[in-house]
Amino acid sequence: MTRHTLGSHPFLLGFEELDRLVERTAKSGEGYPPYNIEQVGDGAYRITLAVAGFAEEDLAITLEDRQLLVRGRQAETSDDRVFLHRGIAARQFSRSFVLADGVEVTGAGLEHGLLNISLERKSPQRVVQTIEIGKA
């Protein structure tokens, strides 16, 4: 049986990368840290990650080839604290989001243990192009 995917449909030319993007995002299914994605306006979005215990210097946000990557790594503390119960996670994490064409990161802020990343979709200019018919 032949496996048909969205990117291999004959009417969708040039969308082969879509299958790779879906596969790549499906692999980042770990549940830590929890996050929200909300639409905050027309073409404006906000990703909020719960990063309690992380300081700004413990976090890194990078954008490469439409993949937004948020990493967290807390510095090891060498104090003599003895925990009777440790329920606040202090592990490193990596969370990725694939952004659509035209979506740009407009800012990020850390407040009350929540990392907010603001995104905005820029409207593409619509171009009508006439194609001349010539000899092949």
Instruction: For residue 78, give its domain range.
Output: 31-121
**Which CATH number covers residue 78?**
2.60.40.790
Tens digit of pLDDT at every position of the chain (136 positions): 555 566 566 667 676 666 666 666 555 556 889 999 999 999 999 999 999 889 999 999 999 988 999 999 987 766 788 889 988 767 899 999 989 888 999 999 999 999 999 999 988 788 898 889 998 7
Judge whether 77 lies within some domain: yes
Q: Are 35 and 50 in contact (CB under 8 A)?
A: yes
Domain count within the chain: 1
**HSE value, Cβ hemisphere, 13 Å, CA-based, for 76:** 1
